[in-house]
């Protein structure tokens, strides 16, 4: 039987889905999305001195013709080397990230001002992180932000991303989990780390954590040269996560996407508890289509956030975006990746963005936005003996992509075992 808090959460999610539209209807008819987009300010902003506690018009032309390749999955399995990758946590390197945002000028993106950042950390009386606590921030009786804490017990609040915060001098924070709740008031511009202790004590969850993992995969022709390696990695990752000693209650899902005018724009494979069936789904992915550089990532991200049957309650919800191209920002009646990343954040869905070869600077900026906003990581495939990357990152270590992804999943589960 679902708990009262799970029922409330399900109602919250259902209401959000009703507001954001059903099926494949595009965002032109989406009043809730329009309102959120209108509320976004256009700045990258300056400042941001809070510490991060890790309780842890598009250019098609010649470039497009160079990118579109065959629709094969590519090559002899035995000849394919494993992919290597690096990663950066922009929430930990906050000042570096803000500098990167301020200096960015490479192409069109949706700017969401995150320079004023508050880190909300919720623990119980035993100082264990409280996962999936409901967090509400308001000012003068007006709700500005609602969200859920991640497995680390943390979430982030960015006042400048919401028009309703304009003029607010203080914020009221309400945190709830089961029968426990706490209300605190914080002066704006003061302490950037908001710590809340709920009057409850949780048992450490060592085994059987509900874990939903969704892969959001660019399946256009430009991915053909790497799709075989990526499929190998996904097969390995899925098998290894299923064999973790913590034995999570694991389900995998996938959204494959291409572009308008292709055989399909998005294709949803909903969460599947049967690992073998999911592996067959991965094996069936073929790279094709995508006649210009950007793809329909806006719509794909909307589908990935809203249409799969994500579990509520204390499920850990993770998404891995794997792509080599930025989204179209010129389509009429489209969704906005900026709105979708905010809605993923509100639902406690953590997104890890994985940049495949060929991702341009606007794509890097967008991928890092999505990962940073949802407390994920920006992951990038590296090449050559030195593990080089064209991306604007430094001080990273290189390991096999499979190892990196599995370690990130283990890190999420470890928060709950404390």
> How many whole angstroms separate alpha carbon 117 and alpha carbon 325?
28
395 band by pLDDT with thresholds 50, 70 and 90: confident
17 band by pLDDT with thresholds 50, 70 and 90: low
The single-letter DSSP state of residue 413 is H
Any residues with CB less than 8 A from the CB of 407 and at least 6 apart, and which? none
**For residue 382, is it within any domain?**
yes
Q: Write out pLDDT tens, residues 87-125.
A: 999 999 999 999 999 999 999 999 999 999 999 999 999
**For residue 54, is it within any domain?**
no
**For residue 153, is it within any domain?**
no
**For residue 19, is it within any domain?**
no
Q: What is the pLDDT of residue 50?
A: 39
Count of domains observed in the chain: 1
Q: What is the pLDDT of residue 12?
A: 61
CA end-to-end distance (rounded Å), the chain: 26
The single-letter DSSP state of residue 81 is P
Average pLDDT, whole number, for the chain?
85
The single-letter DSSP state of residue 166 is T
389 band by pLDDT with thresholds 50, 70 and 90: confident
Domain that includes residue 377, residue range: 61-112+206-416
72 band by pLDDT with thresholds 50, 70 and 90: very low
Give the DSSP letter string of 238-268. Answer: HHHHHT-TT--EEEEEEEEE--TTSS-SEEE
- What are the φ and ψ backbone dihedral angles of 144, each rounded to 5 degrees? -105, -45
Token pair recorded at residue 326: 């930025």
**For residue 197, is it within any domain?**
no
347 band by pLDDT with thresholds 50, 70 and 90: very high
Q: What is the pLDDT of residue 61?
A: 36
Q: Write out pLDDT tens, residues 124-144.
A: 999 999 999 999 999 999 999
**For residue 216, is it within any domain?**
yes
Q: Is the pLDDT of residue 28 over 50?
A: no
Token pair recorded at residue 139: 């000012």
CATH number of domain containing 259? 3.40.50.410
**For residue 47, is it within any domain?**
no
Task: Tell me what the mean pLDDT of segment 333-361 comes to.
Answer: 97
């Amino acid at each position: 039987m679902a708990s009262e808090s799970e029922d409330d959460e399900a109602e919250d999610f259902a209401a959000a889905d009703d507001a954001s539209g059903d099926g494949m209807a595009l965002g032109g008819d989406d009043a809730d999305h329009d309102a959120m987009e209108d509320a976004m300010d256009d700045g990258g902003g300056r400042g941001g001195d809070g510490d991060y506690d890790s309780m842890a018009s598009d250019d098609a032309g010649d470039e497009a013709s160079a990118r579109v390749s065959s629709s094969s999955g590519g090559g002899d399995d035995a000849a394919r080397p494993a992919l290597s990758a690096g990663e950066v946590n922009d929430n930990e390197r906050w000042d570096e990230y803000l500098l990167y945002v301020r200096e960015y000028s490479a192409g069109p993106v949706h700017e969401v001002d995150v320079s004023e950042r508050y880190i909300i950390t919720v623990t119980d009386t035993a100082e264990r992180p409280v996962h999936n606590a409901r967090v509400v921030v308001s000012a003068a009786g007006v709700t500005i932000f609602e969200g859920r804490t991640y497995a680390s017990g943390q979430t982030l609040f960015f006042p400048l991303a919401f028009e309703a915060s304009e003029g607010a001098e203080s914020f009221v924070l309400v945190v709830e989990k089961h029968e426990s709740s706490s209300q605190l008031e914080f002066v704006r511009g003061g302490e950037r780390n908001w710590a809340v202790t709920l009057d409850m004590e949780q048992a450490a969850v060592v085994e059987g954590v509900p874990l939903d993992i969704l892969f959001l995969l660019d399946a256009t022709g430009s991915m053909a040269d790497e799709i075989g390696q990526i499929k190998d990695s996904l097969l390995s990752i899925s098998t290894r996560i299923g064999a973790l000693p913590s034995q999570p209650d694991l389900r995998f899902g996938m959204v494959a996407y291409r572009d308008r005018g292709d055989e399909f724009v998005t294709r949803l494979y909903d969460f599947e508890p049967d690992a073998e069936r999911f592996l067959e789904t991965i094996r069936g992915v073929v790279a094709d289509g995508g006649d210009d550089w950007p793809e329909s990532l806006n719509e794909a991200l909307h589908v990935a956030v809203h249409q799969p049957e994500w579990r509520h309650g204390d499920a850990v919800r993770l998404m891995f975006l794997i792509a080599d191209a930025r989204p179209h920002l010129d389509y009429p009646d489209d969704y906005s990746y900026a709105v979708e990343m905010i809605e993923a954040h509100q639902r406690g869905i953590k997104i890890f963005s994985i940049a495949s070869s060929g991702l341009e600077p606007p794509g890097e900026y967008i991928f890092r936005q999505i990962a940073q906003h949802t407390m994920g990581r920006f992951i990038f495939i590296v090449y050559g003996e030195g593990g080089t990357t064209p991306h604007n990152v430094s001080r990273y270590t290189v390991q096999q992509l499979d190892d990196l992804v599995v370690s990130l999943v283990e890190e999420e589960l470890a928060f709950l075992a404390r």
